[in-house]
Amino acid sequence: MLLWELTPADEYYLDRYEGYPYFYRKESVPLTLGGKAVTAMLYVMNAEGGRYPLGQPHPRYYAGYPIALYPLLPCNMSVERDRDTKKIVYTYHGDEGAVKLDRRHVLHVPGLGFDGLVGYSPIALVKAIKGYSHDKPGQKEGTTP
């Protein structure tokens, strides 16, 4: 069992995350912690799902508002355009294998690029514009030593 000391702001955000009072209610439980009597608050799922039946999403879901955002590692994401439909397809390669994600469920901010899918590295662009390379001093750019 884990216990946290919560500030009022922590409890406010935790209430929102846990779906209080719709899906969960709060209960107080007396405990002894380090020989001292304390009261702990815990969330208990409502038997009937509160105001909404179990399994029914929050009304904000139907309105198209995000409930939560989960950052995904860009190095694990592949973005492609379907050959037939020309729609963007997102595939996330995580610990549980490859998962296809619907475009409506991905906040994609493309970088500088021409295909609308994958952006170019700003560092690589500056390097190309300025003519920087890893060539040795005195070596002509793009030649092999």
Summarised one tens digit per residue, pLDDT across range 47-97 is: 765 555 556 666 766 666 666 677 778 888 888 888 898 888 889 888 778
User: How far does CA 94 lie from the centroid of its chain?
Assistant: 13
Burial status of residue 61 (CB atoms within 10 A of its CB: 0-12, 13-18, 19 or more): exposed
Residue 112 is classified by DSSP as: S
Residue 123 is classified by DSSP as: H
Which residues is 32 bridged to in the sheet?
A: 37
CA distance 17 to 23: 11
pTM for the model stands at 0.38
CA distance 35 to 93: 48
| pLDDT at site 3 | 83
105-145 pLDDT per residue, tens? 787 776 666 666 666 666 777 777 776 655 555 555 555 55
The average pLDDT across 8-15 equals 83
